[in-house]
Amino acid sequence: MKKYQHYINGEWTDASSKDLIPVVNPANEEIIGEVTCAKDEDINQAVESAKKAYESRILVDMNPMERAKLMRRIAEELRKVSKEGGALLCAENGKLLAASEYEFIDAANYFDYYSGLTDKIEGQTIPVNSQVMDYTVYEPYGVSGHIVPWNFPIAMIARSLACSFAAGNSTVIKPAELTPLATTSYFAQAIHNAEVPKGLINIVTGYGSEAGAALTAHPDVAQITFTGSVKTGKAILHAAAERAVPAVVELGGKSAAVVLPDADIDKVVNATKVGIFSQAGQICSAMSRMIVHKSIKDEVLEKLSKLATSIKVGPGDEEGVDLTPVISEEQLQKVENYARSGLQAGAKAVSGGNRVDRKGFFFEPTIYSDVKPDMTIAQEEIFGPFLSVLDYEDHEEAIHIANDTDYGLAAGVFTKDVDMATKTASRLNGGQVYVNSWFTGSIATPFGGYKQSGYSREKGQQAIKSYLQLKNVGIQL
Ligand code: NAI
Ligand code: MG
């Protein structure tokens, strides 16, 4: 069995303990590798390495143009490993092979994008009085700790790492224990091949409750970035508050598409296919609810049912597959429990609702209609290929239902009327609103949540501010 190691101070190393974490291929339930498991000692070592690198000022004092070049070298190396890295990512995560390879490309794009900001971190001069010269500078925090989820193991690292690196921080990354293999091998190799100075980027694998908690509690970690569940996000915010350090948190969602009576139903169906069935619905901004006007409900449900029938379930590396497995047996169980509870509560299965009878963590493409706003399946993040369809009569009611959850990550509206589109977009509580589509964003567009979906914004130019602190300097002339 291949063993994967930490990447600390520019070297692959074992953990202090002999414990290993087995990693399972969700498509066939086979163990495909083991990863070394960090305890406090290993976290200390990684943070120490990042701190030393930071204090050497090698990145901070690097000419911004040189820092940009280094980042573009990382991008180039990430592109080089996208095929092999993608194959391993596909095996450990279960997502489509093309999507797995694309994560490395996407990661490269993050480094390219943020490389353009290294020489644009500008302060201000502030008029105080004629005897004082006052200016501001943005400075990095020091050591930045990144806790990564399993749904986009490589892209989620790059999203925060490229930004924090462009700002001049050193980083310790803790991948999710379910998907650490492509990160500790191909991703680390790309960093290594790009000749990133030792200690600037460190990767330690381990369990969230041990390694993740130790990283967030470490006194030398000056800033924390987390993407994942609301529950863990809150634990991390508590830990950050304990030490009064800032945290970037991007949490879950229960995002709703509002379908107005004049909507182009084919667009609704296409958006559903990518919105809730790509990556088996395990996307924080997935379209997990649809709120359809009663007048078109039957037509929409009929077309959605056809969509579900047309969806091919299978492993990510098989030709023509649309729906891949969920990440784990635990996740499969969770989705199945929601499916049962939905029926008990009175929802109707338009399609699916069961695990697929084969090896691997496959769940049927599932669409439930007649869902009521107070049902659990309308309120909680399921994180599976599961769409809850609700209906409404007047526009205000639709807005109310859409906003009536604890989450506020994404939302959508389908209509041909641009006035109704903008009016609806302005009323939906979500960090991003998609009109007549789903997932329209790019690296350049800010991404984050309203309400319990978090309050940070990642991606786009302003995200770099999360990795910088502001200093004011006053000179008495
Ligand atoms: P999680 O949020 O617990 O795990 C995400 C990351 O946090 C992993 O790297 C994990 O090791 C780490 N972590 C866990 N507990 C920690 C702690 N106390 N301190 C520091 N780090 C910690 O998510 P999990 O348990 O894998 O999945 C549970 C549910 O969370 C899913 O069913 C899904 O609903 C949701 N989820 C949402 C994601 C999103 O992007 N919105 C991503 C992953 C999970
Ligand atoms: Mg957890």
Q: How far is the CA of 36 from the centre of ligand 2 (A)?
A: 19
- Residue 179 near ligand 1, beta carbon < 6 Å: no
Q: Tell the burial category of 62 from Cβ atoms under 10 Å away from its Cβ (0-12, 13-18, 19+).
A: middle
Return the pLDDT at 197. 98
Say how far apart CA 219 and CA 51 lie, in whole Å.
11
Q: Which fold has domain 3-251+453-476?
A: Aldehyde Dehydrogenase; Chain A, domain 1 (3.40.605)
Q: Which ligand is nearest to the CA of 234?
A: 1
**Mean pLDDT, residues 228-248:** 98
Return the pLDDT at 281. 98
Q: How far is the CA of 381 from the centre of ligand 1 (A)?
A: 12
**Mean pLDDT, residues 219-236:** 98
Return the pLDDT at 402. 98
- Residue 453 near ligand 1, beta carbon < 6 Å: no
Return the pLDDT at 435. 98
pLDDT single digits (tens) 123-142? 999 999 999 999 999 999 99
What's the 3-state SS for the chain? Answer: CCEECEEECCEEECCCCCCEEEEECCCCCCEEEEEECCCHHHHHHHHHHHHHHHHCCCCCCCCHHHHHHHHHHHHHHHHHCHHHHHHHHHHHHCCCHHHHHHHHHHHHHHHHHHHCCCCCCCCCEEEEECCEEEEEEEEECCEEEEECCCCCHHHHHHHHHHHHHHCCCEEEEECCCCCCHHHHHHHHHHHHHCCCCCCCEEECCCCHHHHHHHHHHCCCCCEEEEECCHHHHHHHHHHHHHHCCCEEEECCCCEEEEECCCCCHHHHHHHHHHHHHHHHHCCCCCEEEEEEEHHHHHHHHHHHHHHHHHCCECCCCCCCCCECCCCCHHHHHHHHHHHHHHHHCCCEEEECCCECCCCCCCECCEEEECCCCCCHHHHCCCCCCEEEEEEECCHHHHHHHHHCCCCCCEEEEECCCHHHHHHHHHHCCCCEEEECCCCCCCCCCCECCCHHHCCCCECCHHHHHHHEEEEEEEEEC
**Mean pLDDT, residues 397-402:** 98
Q: In sequence order, which residues have a C-beta less than 8 Å from that of residue 171 and are 6 or more positions away?
A: 50, 143, 144, 145, 146, 161, 164, 165, 200, 201, 202
pLDDT single digits (tens) 181-214? 999 999 999 999 999 999 999 999 999 999 999 9
Structure tokens at 472: 């004011």
Residue whose CA is at the smallest distance from ligand 1 atom 6: 149
67 confidence band (pLDDT: 50, 70, 90): very high
Q: Which ligand is nearest to the CA of 236?
A: 1
Q: How far is the CA of 121 from the centre of ligand 1 (A)?
A: 32
Q: Where are the domains of the chain?
A: 3-251+453-476, 255-442
pTM for the whole structure: 0.98
Return the pLDDT at 369. 98
Provide the annotated active-site residues: 250, 284
pLDDT single digits (tens) 280-321? 999 999 999 999 999 999 999 999 999 999 999 999 999 999
Return the pLDDT at 357. 97
- Residue 78 near ligand 1, beta carbon < 6 Å: no
Return the pLDDT at 150. 98
- Residue 177 near ligand 1, beta carbon < 6 Å: yes
Mean pLDDT of the chain: 98
- Residue 170 near ligand 1, beta carbon < 6 Å: no
Amino acid at 453: S
**Residues 255-442, CATH architecture:** 3-Layer(aba) Sandwich (3.40)
**Mean pLDDT, residues 257-274:** 98
388 confidence band (pLDDT: 50, 70, 90): very high
For residue 253, the ligand 1 atom closest to its alpha carbon is 41
467 confidence band (pLDDT: 50, 70, 90): very high
Residue indicated by tokens 């691997």: 360
pLDDT single digits (tens) 326-383? 999 999 999 999 999 999 999 999 999 999 999 999 999 999 999 999 999 999 999 9
